[in-house]
Structures are given as structure tokens and as C-alpha cells.
Structure 1
Amino acid sequence: MKWNCYDLLDYYNTEKNDMPALKTQPIQTDAVLERVQRQTGCLSAKPERKFHRTRWVAGAVAAVVLVTGGTMLSAAAGYGGLDAFFQSLTGDVTPHHPEKMASLVTTPDSSFDSTNAAVQFQLLGMYGDDNQALLSFQVSAQEDAGLKDGLQVRYQLSLRDEDGSAQPLDSFGRTVSLREKDGAYYVNLRIDQTDLQGKALDVTFENFYTEAQVTQVWNQVQAYNDQMRQDYIRQTLGEDALQGLEDGALPAAFDLNAWKTYWQEQNLDQKCADKEQELYAASDCAVAGSWHTNVVLHFTNAEPITASAEGCSVTLQTLSASVAVPEEWDDEEHFVTYVMTLKDGRKVFDELMANDDGTELLPRIHALPGCETDTLEQYVPLETVYVDDNNASVLCYSEPIDPDSVASITAYRYTYLGDAASDTSGIGGYELTDTTVIYQG
């Protein structure tokens, strides 16, 4: 999911008429986006941070090795089992150690209702816990069906409780790429969402489009979004307020809080979604059809561990940890990062980002107390980090971690001091000001 440029406006400084120094800090921009989404409430999609795991690219290679015995996979169309499941995982959905995920993979009963018999979806398998899920689908087609590598299919997701009530997971129709590998087509969905275990996931795929078509629709939706903001400025500040502004700039008198209130009151989020639906309906899709199924999300995991101390709360699961701290710890002038230490000495660091040689990450690790001599290889990389409805940071692991194997979780609080910072934190303009052990196993 791409984010609107509007989402960064929460940190727009109307007095200076520019963005704060944070803008130039590549690590902290993720934390800014996280807080922006939390505060604006204008988009229902959850903030999500993706990580560059340049030092762990071996994980992608490992995915094409059979999890039993190391034999190379040779998945053809229709080939099933664990082999096909791990063969289907590519790119940023490939776990660091796929063989460790094998015991968690399940294939629940599911069948698709389809309006296009020439193209069929089949659920290969899934794994997850209460905070995340990964599902892999194999797509088979007749030769004249028009499928090809790189097409993107729109999809909608919702969760259903036992009482039948449904919770949509997306306000905008998302797209996911169709990938061809050794004669088979695959679609992978990663879902970062709390309260998944035991729910019924309603999945609908609808129409395939080219990448160029998807990009064109996205640009048109952004232009529509920009036009609504300009119309608002005309209504509140007058036409003259738009004169001489560069693209993306705002008038000095622009009231961001008033704009956020207007966005919600006028339901502009839904208007953008309706506009997107209208634009797709006007496009000639590459392959037409609708494919729908229901999947019960029952995951095999160790029992979670829940603890709380000093206003903090922690829930440890097999594939994720949820950590919440008091609201005042993480505001406009602060942010919090976590280091989870395992009993075997390895650590999980919540922002594993690095250049090819790791130069950007290591100074930050070495700035943390007790981590002065750590190397990148001592850390378990994450798949994603996101913020849930309760403002808890959810850390999704790239490999299973038994909750009982966690020794401690430490919170490090940074304060923005600008030029007054000591430059020893590993992040320019910020200084490490507080350290708190919030969990001890």
C-alpha cells in the first residue's frame, strides 16, 4: 500500500514553512510515519515499516531449497505440499529461515467461487499468529486465459467473527503481483493485523491489471486527493493563498488540525476509495473475473506470554511481539525503540535497516548500552513492524521464536534535541535519554 503525500503533513511546521530536521534522517522517517498515521486518523490502513535486509539475502536463496534434506525444488503447475508453498514465496515475503517455518505451515479447507473458469486460485498454505499471517495461493490458467508474470490483481479482505460480524481490513482496493516461477503462478498475501487467530478471513480477488494501469490509477487518485486539498484551501483561505506555492507546499496559515477534522467529517477517505473504484471500472483489465473464498485462521503456535510493568505491556507470541509504553514516552519530541534479548544471546532489534555494508545500522546498535560490541549477525531480522489500534508496536519476526526463549525486552527512549544532541546516539539530532527493562523472562 502506498501512502499519500498528505500523510506526512502532521509534522509540517507552519511557522518555518518547511519540514523538521527529521526529514533528512532515514531511520526516523519510519517512526514519524508511524506517529503521523496514529494521529491523523484519516486513513484506515495501518502504518507499516519495511526493512532492507541486505545482509540477509541468503534467506531468499534458501526458499528454493526443500525443507527436508536440501533437495532443490522443481515445482510445476499444480504441484502441492510444502515444496510448492516455499517455492511460491519470493521477495519481501520470504522468511529468513524457511525451514524453521515448516512446522507452522497449515493448509485449511477452502474452495473458490469463480466467475472465470479459465483461471483458478488454490490456497497452497499459510502460517501466522494473532498479529500477522502469510497466505500463498497458486493460480492456474488455460493457455489462452491471458495470464503473465507481473500482472496485478486487486483484492479485498475482511475478518468475520463467530457471530457473523465483519471487519474490513482495507478501505482502498489493494493490488498484489502475480509471479511466475518454473511454470507456476503464485500470489502471496501478508496481513499485519491484530486479533487474527480463530477468525474467518474473507478473501476476494477481482480482475488483473498491468503495472502501468495500476500506476496510472494511483496517480489519478493522488491528483484527486490534491485537488480536494486545494479546494479546501480556496474555501478557507481564498484563491490568493495558492498563488506562488511550489508542488506539495502549504500556505503558512494552513491549519492542519482543521484540515484533518474536515477530512473526517466529509468522509474524504471514502471518496478517494470510490474514485479509485470508478477509475478501475473505466480501465480495460488484462484478465476479468472474480474469485472468492473463506479461510479459517487457525495457527499452530506456542502459548503466548503476557506481562505488564511500570505502565508497559508485552505480549509474546511465536511470530511476533506486541509492546506498548505510556503515551508520553512516544510523542512529537520522542520515539522509542526496543531490543529483545533471547536466552541464547541473540537479539531482535526493532529497526533493522542497513546499507549494503551495514554502515548505517551498526553505529546505532553500538550506541545502545550493552550492545557496544554486537555485530549484525547476532540479530534476528524482522519482517515488519506496525502500530495497532491500541498504539502498541507489533514486531513481526522473520523466524519463529518461542516466547519462553525471550530473556528480556528493553525500551530505549530518544529525545529530539537538534543541534544540541551529542551525536552519540547513532541518529542525528536525537539523543538517548532513558533506558527501561520492561520485561524479564
Structure 2
Amino acid sequence: MKWNCYDLFDHYNTEKNGVPALKEQPIRTDAVLERVQAQTAAHSQPHKRSRIRMTKWAAGIAAAAVLVTGGTTLAAAAGVGGLNAFFHSLTGEETPENPGKLAALVATPDASFDSTNQDVQFTLLGMYGDDSQAMLSFQVTAKDGTALQDGFKLPYQLTLQGTDGSSEALGCYGKTADIREKDGAYYINLRINRTDLQGKTLDVTFRNFYTEAQISQIWSQLTAYDDQLQQDYVRQNFGEDALKGWGNGELPAEFDVDAWKAYRRENHLDQKCSDREKELYAETDGVISGSWHTSVTLDFASAAPITAEFDGGTVTLQTLSASIAAPAEWDDQNHAVNYVITLKDGRKIFDELMAQYTAGDEMLQRIHALPGCETDTIEQYVPLAENYWEKDSATDVFCYSEPIDPAEVETITAYRFAFAGEDSDGTSGLSGYDLTDRTVIYSAQ
């Protein structure tokens, strides 16, 4: 497979990704995953740790990641609203570690849907979040004669609207959400990873239901179109001979990522791909037609954040996340950094725990690569729900799997590494990296 589709290069940061980095972040967004699945004829599988060396660009594209889970039948026929309905919808991989702690954070704001198909109705069951993440759960019901089905997919659009009248679309073209059925109830869950959410209005539009086969076909055509745009660029700049290795996933040795990104911007290739996507959907008859639109204010109940500065950076602690903006040289072509957040009760939040390892000993090996963690066990750590990089602000964001009062954070330690070469054993316990220092960048007052 050729690692050359636009989403990869668009979010690839040459300053932060010149060499294999310490972290191997999995791609968690459908904007890339769906393309990969379409090209390989693979189907969605439970999330596994990626074995391909990928750095923070992979996590950074999770600005509008969709995490779809199953659900259970609600106790009452009406069954909409209340904590039971909301938490029933959150079963599966993304079930909160401590739903009881999250209960106080769940809100069910007024979110009436405008619809062009009254035979299918959407209802917002609830949401929780803070300024750096949000989880929303929707229930979908249909009248007799309109058949919903597990695995149907819906293209959707998300737009953030500020109180100052500003508007920002979240993510690029091609996002889809799955509808999941369990015992007769249908749910859609959306997770949004994006800083500066609190107080803004989220505009949500779902449009038409498609089968997985239809979506795969659309993605295949869209990927081919995107691929052709890049071939045209290579042919124009490097000649026809530069395409000889294209079928084997090879790019010309002279290929420059930044130049390609600039070319895309200058020639509005994003818009061309978006227009082509709309054409493909218009040419495909959905199994259920219609559009469903609502707007909801992201007014989350959470403790007051704590913001602190350290030499060259800042830390922001919230109820469900910690955000760290560090100096650029900490994580560039020749360096990497990991953070360990230690709570006052002795538990730790470690950013590598956001991934699902296939073997627990590998997870422990990574933990133990950091001094002071050698005697820890997995049970002593609070796992993360997500870990992403906000490229606009160059900020690492760690989304907790349970609420944590900002005042309960004792310290945050940065472990800094220098790249020693692919063939080096390194002195950090991690191949290719030397541990240069560890610095406490936050300490409770």
C-alpha cells in the first residue's frame, strides 16, 4: 500500500517527524482508516496497536474522530433521556472506566432535529466533556416500514460556531458514522477531539444512510481520484519516469512533503476532493434518504481549570483532560518527549496507555523504560481515552478515561529523549533513543 494519500501528508509535520519517534500512535480517524480499509478490502476490526512507526501526525488528525459503540435496549418504550439511556449507549471499547464518576458531568441539552424524513428520528441522549474533548450519544428510531440495520453508515458534518459569530468546520471531507443496533435499539456515538470547545455551539448534520459496501465503493473512487491528483503532481514536477514505482507504493526520492502541501493549498485540491465526494454521494442512492440537523451548546459541567507555566511552555489541567504546550525543540526531528501525570493519591496517567497492546509485557516494557516507573504495574495507572496533538496550537492533549479534579494532580514530569539512530540500542530502554533528562514541568501549589 502506498502511504501517499492526502490526509497523511496534510497532517505530517516535518519538524516533528523527521525520524521515527518514540510514540507509535494508531490512526483513529475514519478520514484515513476508511481509505486504508477500502484499498485493502479490509473491514473494521477492534482497535489494535499499530505496528507501523507513526508519530504525532497520526494522533493530530483526530480533531473530529468518530468512535462508534453498541447499545442496549432502554427500559421504557420511549426510552429517551436520563443517565440510564446515555450510559446504555456507551458499551463496547469506549465504555468509561468509571461511569459513576462521569454521571455528574452528563448533560442533556435541548437539541431538536430538523428533518426531511419524518419516518426516522434522531434524539440526543446526552453528552459530557470539557474544553478539549466531547462525547455525544444519539438514539435513532424509525416508524414501521422503515428498516434500520446494524452497520448502516451516515456521512455527517460538524461545525463549531463561536459566540462572536465565527464558524469553523471540523475535519475534512469524508467523515461517516456507524449506526449500531443492540436488542432493537440503535445508537450513534461521536467523540470530538478539539481544543477550545467550551461554550461554543456544535452544528450537526447527518445525511442519508448507506451500506458499508456503498461507502467502501465511494471511498475507493475518492481515493483513486485523490491518487490521480498526486500522480499528476509527480508527473508535472519529476517526469513520467518518476511514476515507475508508483504501483509498489514508492514516491520519488526528490518528493518534498512541504512542497506537496503548498501545491495542494495553492491549487485548492482540498475543495476539488470535497466536490468530488459530494458528486459520488449524489450518484449513489442511499438505502434511507433524508437529512437530520441540530445545534447544541457545548456547556460542560466541570471543575475550574488550572493553568501553569514552565520554562518555554504551559500546562492546562481540566476535569477530563490535560493539555501541554512545550518548546518545539522537545519534539522535533532529533528529539522526543513523554509525559507522566502523577495524582496526589499515587496513581499515574501515562500517555502510552492510550494504545491497546496485544501483549501486556510490551506495555510494561514501555512504562519501565522511564526511570521511577520500574516497579509500577498496569493497575497503578489511569488509562487515557484519547491522546491527540492539536497542530494549530502545537499542544499535546491527554483525554482521561475518568474525571479527575485538576486540584488532584500532584506533578507532571517530562521525559526527554534524543534520537541515537535506527541501529542504536539507546540508553532509555527504547530502541534508538537516549534519555537526556526528566523535568518536572508542573507541581501542585
- Correspondent of 1:439 among 432, 439, 442: 442
How far apart, in 1, do the equivalents of 2:265 and 2:62 lie?
14
Aligned to 1:67: none
Deviation at 1:76, TM superposition (A): 5.4
Deviation at 1:91, TM superposition (A): 3.2
Paired residue type of 1:267:
H
How far apart, in 1, do the equivalents of 2:328 and 2:19 lie?
23
How far apart, in 2, do the equivalents of 1:74 and 1:162 lie?
36
The reply to whether residue 79 of structure 1 matches residue 82 of structure 2 is no
Q: Give 1:29-428 correspondences, 5 Å limit.
A: 32-35=54-57, 46=63, 74-75=74-75, 78-80=78-80, 81-352=82-353, 353-388=355-390, 389-419=392-422, 421-428=424-431
SS in 1 for 2:228: helix
Paired residue type of 2:389:
V
How far apart, in 2, do the equivalents of 1:440 and 1:49 lie?
34
Q: Aligned pair in 2 of structure 1 residues 116, 84: CA closer, same or farther (>3 Å)? A: same
Aligned to 1:57: none
Instruction: Report the more deviating stretch, 391-400 or 381-390.
Output: 381-390
Paired residue type of 2:200:
K
SS in 2 for 1:78: coil
- Correspondent of 1:22 among 20, 23, 31: 20
SS in 1 for 2:352: coil
How far apart, in 1, do the equivalents of 2:115 and 2:408 lie?
45
Q: Deviations 1:258-288 (Å, cap 9, x if unpaired)?
A: 2221111112122112111111111111111
* RMSD after superposition: 2.9
Deviation at 1:374, TM superposition (A): 0.5
How far apart, in 1, do the equivalents of 2:246 and 2:172 lie?
31
TM-score w.r.t. structure 2 length? 0.85
Paired residue type of 2:138:
F
Paired residue type of 1:250:
L
Paired residue type of 1:413:
R
Deviation at 1:411, TM superposition (A): 0.8
TM-score w.r.t. structure 1 length? 0.86
How far apart, in 2, do the equivalents of 1:102 and 1:188 lie?
17
Instruction: Report the more deviating stretch, 221-230 or 165-174.
Output: 165-174
Q: Deviations 1:41-98 (Å, cap 9, x if unpaired)?
A: xxx8649799xxxxxxxxx99x97xxxxxxxx85455313111101111334321111
Q: Aligned pair in 2 of structure 1 residues 45, 362: CA closer, same or farther (>3 Å)? A: closer
Deviation at 1:398, TM superposition (A): 0.5
SS in 1 for 2:241: helix
SS in 1 for 2:375: coil
Contact 2:63 2:170 survives alignment (8 Å)? no
Paired residue type of 1:382:
L
Paired residue type of 2:369:
A
Q: Deviations 1:171-218 (Å, cap 9, x if unpaired)?
A: 314111111122211111111111111111111111111111112211
How far apart, in 2, do the equivalents of 1:130 and 1:200 lie?
12
How far apart, in 1, do the equivalents of 2:330 and 2:79 lie?
51
Contact 2:64 2:191 survives alignment (8 Å)? no
Q: Aligned pair in 2 of structure 1 residues 34, 307: CA closer, same or farther (>3 Å)? A: same
Q: Identity percentage over the alignment? A: 57
Aligned to 1:69: none
Deviation at 1:25, TM superposition (A): 7.9
Deviation at 1:418, TM superposition (A): 1.9
Aligned to 1:54: none
Paired residue type of 1:79:
G
Instruction: Report the more deviating stretch, 429-438 or 394-403.
Output: 429-438
Deviation at 1:170, TM superposition (A): 2.5
Paired residue type of 1:34:
K
Q: Aligned pair in 2 of structure 1 residues 333, 49: CA closer, same or farther (>3 Å)? A: farther
Q: Deviations 1:121-155 (Å, cap 9, x if unpaired)?
A: 01111100011111111111013112111101111
How far apart, in 2, do the equivalents of 1:21 and 1:293 lie?
44
Contact 1:385 1:396 survives alignment (8 Å)? yes
How far apart, in 2, do the equivalents of 1:201 and 1:20 lie?
36
Contact 2:387 2:396 survives alignment (8 Å)? yes
Q: Aligned pair in 2 of structure 1 residues 117, 354: CA closer, same or farther (>3 Å)? A: closer
Unaligned runs of 5+ in 2: 27-49
